[in-house]
Structure 1
Amino acid sequence: MPVSTDIVASYRGPRPVMRRLLAMPESEGRALAILMAGCLVTFIGQWPRLAREAHLTGQELNPLLGGALLGWLFMAPLAFYLIAFVSHLVSRAFGARGSAYGSRLALFWAFLAASPLLLLYGLVAGFIGPGAGLTGVGVVWVAVFLWFWLSNLREAGWGVS
């Protein structure tokens, strides 16, 4: 299925999508591509907020974009790999029998599937600014991301439907 269709399907129920991804042959390249796509979408979602910040503070926009690019496309993937490793160890401590690849895929897919909400967060941050709306969108993103991640981890580690 196309990625966009899988993202929409994840909002209806993340476990069948994760089950389908786990049924494919293991491919670290696919997992990295999913993670990098999520990081790219997040980077793009930062543009309105950074433009607002540059305008309000009188800073140049390009250095802000460069910093966000460095952070999201080069540093964040390393952090995600570390988080996935720790989540795999914690899952194993609670009796999961899934692979480290499954734990990585669970986290990376949850991040990509929840990334449309990060685009909305960036728009709210850029056009409305700090306030209840921005906080609300942020809380919704965190809730959806955790729902996806925990559901995916459950599917990857225990194979529970």
Structure 2
Amino acid sequence: MAITRNISATYRGPGRVIRRLLELGQREDRALAYLMASCALVFIAQLPRLAREAHLTGQDLNMLMGASLLAWIFVAPLLFYVIAFAAHGIGRLLRGQGTSYGARLALFWALLASSPLILLHGLIAGFIGPGIGLQTVGLVWFVVFMWFWIGGSIAQERAA
């Protein structure tokens, strides 16, 4: 199934999508591709906010973009691997039957599937700026991300 169809299907049931992705077999390259695509989308979502910040404060936009690129493309993937490892450990403590790969897939897919909301958040941060709209979209993104991650994690812990 196409990634865009899987993303829209995740909004209807994250557990089903994770089980379907796990049925495709354990492919670390696929999980890494989901993570890197997610991090690239988050970086792209930051660009309108960075441009606004550079314009309002007089900072160099290239410096801001370089720092954001370093953070999202090189540092964040390592942190997400650590978070997935910790989530797998928690799953094992709760007597889950999932794999470390399943824990990584659930986290990375949750980030990728919630990326449309991240992009909306970036647009609001860049064009409207701080305010209730930005906070609302940020909260909606966080709730949706946690729903996807927890739903996917439960499904992968039961699937194995």
Offset from partner CA, 1:86-111 (integer Å, 9 cap, x none): 00000110010110000000000000
SS of 2:26's equivalent in the other structure is coil
What amino acid does structure 1 have at the position aligned with 2:93? A
Gaps of 5+ in 2: none
TM-score by length of 1: 0.97
RMSD: 1.0
Distance in structure 1 (CA, Å) of the matches to 2:23 and 2:90 = 23
Offset from partner CA, 1:17-57 (integer Å, 9 cap, x none): 11110001111111000000000110000010000000000
For residue 82 of structure 1, report the CA deviation from its aligned partner: 0.1
Aligned length: 160
SS of 1:156's equivalent in the other structure is helix
Distance in structure 2 (CA, Å) of the matches to 1:72 and 1:48 = 15
Distance in structure 1 (CA, Å) of the matches to 2:75 and 2:116 = 21
Distance in structure 2 (CA, Å) of the matches to 1:72 and 1:33 = 14
Runs of 4+ in 1 over 2 A off after TM superposition: none
Q: Could you say which residue in structure 1 is the equivalent of 2:134? A: 134
Q: Could you say which residue in structure 1 is the equivalent of 2:41? A: 41
Confirm whether residue 150 of structure 1 aligns to residue 153 of structure 2.
no
Q: Could you say which residue in structure 2 is the equivalent of 1:18? A: 18
Gaps of 5+ in 1: none
SS of 2:114's equivalent in the other structure is helix
SS of 1:133's equivalent in the other structure is helix
What amino acid does structure 2 have at the position aligned with 1:92? R
Instruction: Report sequence identity in percent.
Output: 57
Q: Could you say which residue in structure 1 is the equivalent of 2:86? A: 86
SS of 2:25's equivalent in the other structure is coil
Distance in structure 2 (CA, Å) of the matches to 1:134 and 1:4 = 25
SS of 2:97's equivalent in the other structure is coil
Q: Could you say which residue in structure 2 is the equivalent of 1:28? A: 28
TM-score by length of 2: 0.98
Q: Could you say which residue in structure 1 is the equivalent of 2:72? A: 72
Distance in structure 2 (CA, Å) of the matches to 1:121 and 1:111 = 14
SS of 2:11's equivalent in the other structure is helix
Distance in structure 2 (CA, Å) of the matches to 1:148 and 1:54 = 34
Distance in structure 1 (CA, Å) of the matches to 2:14 and 2:71 = 28
Confirm whether residue 124 of structure 1 aligns to residue 160 of structure 2.
no
Distance in structure 2 (CA, Å) of the matches to 1:123 and 1:12 = 25
What amino acid does structure 2 have at the position aligned with 1:153? S
